[in-house]
Amino acid sequence: TSFTYESHLPLAELPLTRAPGCPFDPPPELAEVREQAPIKRLTFPDGHEGWLVTGHALVRAVLGDQRFSSRPELMHYPLPGVAFDEMPPGAVGDLTAIDAPEHTRFRKLLIGKFTVRRMSLLAERVEQITAAQLDVLAEHGPPADLVRLFAQPVPAQMICELLGVPYADRETFQRHAAVLAGGEHTGEEQHAAFGALAEYLHELVLAKRAHPTDDLLGDLTGTDLGDEELAGVGAFLLGAGLDTTANMIALGTFALLSHPGQLAALRAEPDLADQAVEELLRYLSIAHTGQRAALEDVELGGHLVKAGETVVVSVQAANRDPARFADPDVLDLRRPATGHLSFGHGVHQCLGQQLARVELRVAIPALIGRFPTLRLAVPAAEVPLRGGLDIYGVERLPVTWDD
Ligand code: HEM
């Protein structure tokens, strides 16, 4: 790309290309920007002069400040192709696209369903599902695509059980969820995919109203959420539960296979799992970039962000800020990585984070324990990576092992 960086000028484009030769490191330009100015002017493709925030303390401050809105229709888009007045509001049920008080209403209804205690009760099911899926992988034999045979099916079965969505319908909802997850798809296609997913959920919700079931969607039929709202929340949770953890399992495995010393440490010491998962979350920052719109003038890091301006927060830059983490570019499973912003921060902080943690703490150690000779089946440079503003990850992860 034509990246130009002069410290006194606005940044001409948002750096999004990860470091050449290292699929785990953020774009090197971000480190340069963060060092010079943790908050900096960014010129958007539509000409808007907004901001890019890269320092850990400031990213955290933006995410924790409700003077910054999450509504997409108030934001300028940092990549070419979408004009300001073309950003549609979020779909019904998309919690990340609304502000208080609408957001508070949904959040209050959901928060009790995702507590640490409730999620740890699911650990046993995660173990069973993981073990069964490892059998599938072993039966398939090497080489295999880890994404399709392990990283996707484990979280998919968990979110289906939690919500009360039949896993047998996966052909239908995974197709829509894949479009939603981005890749080559346009905003319109994604909108249509969310609509299709919500339609599928709508029928399910009507069935649950008629015959209540003991699961999260069944529980929610007892609240004041209408059918459309309930279907929308269901579609959003299903999408969030399918795409994110799967990317962490696959990319996390890729990172471990690329750092044999760390892999060996985790194999030797399964007790390291909790800490290792936090560090992988920090190091990989799959939800790498966020956005907010200032609702009023806000003083931020010595600058005045004016009402109406769009602020891009670089979570991946914040998670590699040397002011917050020592040797931030080193993957060190033993470091205390708490304080990373990979699940966001503030009122929109990830509701599914305890579920994701339980899944990752079980799935990754079980995988490397079951296959001691697990390795990439292709050169690392040939593993297809995701791009743009999507959740980061690998499209496929060809692996092999000694049978
Ligand atoms: C929100 C990351 C797994 C449900 C978020 C946000 C991030 C995030 C960064 C904040 C978005 C924002 O501020 O706009 C992740 C990562 C995951 C993960 C990295 C896996 C490793 C899950 C799972 C679920 C889930 C398994 C389960 C259903 C949600 C929900 C929200 C959310 C409901 C919206 C919260 C709100 O706006 O109030 N997630 N997530 N996430 N996540 Fe996750």
pLDDT at 115 over 90: no
CB 179 within 8 A of CB 185: yes
What is the pLDDT, as a whole number, of residue 82? Answer: 83
Quote the ligand 1 centre to 240 CA distance (angstroms).
6
Average pLDDT, the chain: 93
**Under 8 Å between Cβ of 316 and 59:** no
pLDDT exceeds cutoff 60 at 3:
no
Q: How far is the CA of 350 from the centre of ligand 1 (A)?
A: 4
Q: How confident is the model at residue 106 (pLDDT cuts 50, 70, 90)?
A: very high
The residue ranges of DSSP E strands in 76-196, in sequence order, are 144-145
- φ and ψ of 166, to 5 deg: -65, 120
- Reported in sequence order, the residue ranges of 256-361 that DSSP labels E, i.e. its strands, are 289-294, 298-300, 303-305, 310-314
DSSP string, 245-261: HHHHHHHHHHHHHT-HH
Q: How far apart are CA 258 and CA 242, in angstroms?
A: 25
- The SS3 of residue 243 is helix
Quick check: 43 pLDDT over 60? yes
Q: Which of 68, 180, 350 to mutate to test the pocket of ligand 1 (most atoms within 8 A of CB)?
A: 350
| ipTM, 2 dp | 0.99
Quote the ligand 1 centre to 239 CA distance (angstroms). Answer: 10
Q: In angstroms, rounded to a whole number, what is the distance separating the alpha carbons of residues 87 and 83?
A: 7
In angstroms, rounded to a whole number, what is the distance separating the alpha carbons of residues 284 and 254? 11
Mean pLDDT, rounded, for 242-268: 97
Report the share of the chain in percent with pLDDT over 90. Answer: 79
SS3 of residue 207 by DSSP: helix
Environment class of 192 (CB within 10 Å of its CB; exposed 0-12, middle 13-18, buried 19+): middle
